Amino acid sequence: MSKPSFQFIPEHKKAIVWHNNKTSFPIEYYHWHQGFELLIVFKGSGNVILNQRVTPITPGKLFFFQPFQLHHVATLKNEPYERSTLHFDPLHTERLLHMYPSMLQLFYHMQNDTFDHQFIDFTADFSYIQHLCQLYDESLGTCPLKEQIDRENVFLIQLLGYVQHQLKHHSPSLQTRNLPYAERVMRWIEGNLARPFKLDELADELFLSKSYLSKRFRIETGSSITTYLTARRMKEACHLLQTSTLSLEAICSKIGITNVSYFIQMFKRELQTTPHQYRLNLQKQ
């Protein structure tokens, strides 16, 4: 059985899910979550691939990923990778921030708007953030179960308050830069998603050989062009299955696939279910 190119991470029953001091290397596939995610990096190098943009991973960066946003974290295996992650339910967070209008507005901004960069730099406050995470983690092991929800909510407010301050006063630089080859590839795919993919055509567009372009993409993202293309097609297919009544033939025409049987086979391989069953499950929810 072939390995999936990406995974859809199912919704967790808890409103807030916290993991501190994670040091294992992530399974490197494209994925998305139903909830919101904060990724807080303390050690490590590599790249985050998000919105057709490649952003270097460095200690002291806090990335935020919106619900259902396709992303991929590719780390260097010859360096330790230490981070904390916080996943939280947007509806729970809206209710929690109801008494804090400015933070609620920030959360709507983070959840719904388009950003050039989806990270903040906390290197100047590295010790504070690390200490905050450590204290919260330790408190979960000592407080009674009935107090944990209160502590979770307070911690989420503290982190979002810090993000609010940083986004307001220390937005990442928007200086002109040379686009990595991987970003050029992803932007080209985005603009040609409905057409059958031809590597020759893409390579000619970028004035590169096919072998060099494929090599550069793998170096910059940790995956192949085909892997990214499959993940992007499946993400679009899931969106269309959820938001429209289009036939499978019509969906195929919008993601550059000409054979419906091949699409069904690919979908089942990647999501472990058929397009028809996927749509039925959404309707039941």
Give the DSSP letter string of 34-71: SSEEEEEEEE--EEEEETTEEEEE-TTEEEEE-TT--E
Higher pLDDT, 178 or 251: 251
The ranges of the chain annotated as CATH 1.10.10.60 are: 181-284
For 45-54, 64-73, 98-107, 164-173, which range has the lowest pLDDT when averaged over its residues?
A: 164-173
CA distance 83 to 60: 10
Instruction: State residue 222 phi and psi, 5-degree precision.
Output: 80, 5
CB 222 within 8 A of CB 74: yes
Confidence band for 111, pLDDT divided at 50, 70 and 90: confident
- Match 């969106």 to its residue by tokens: 239
Q: What is the mean pLDDT of residues 107-121?
A: 87
The ranges of the chain annotated as CATH 2.60.120.280 are: 6-169
**Dihedral sign, CA of 158, 160, 161, 162?**
positive
Q: Looking at domain 6-169, which CATH architecture does it have?
A: Sandwich (2.60)
3-state secondary structure of 8: strand
Confidence band for 7, pLDDT divided at 50, 70 and 90: low
User: 181-284 — its CATH code?
Assistant: 1.10.10.60
Record the pTM.
0.73
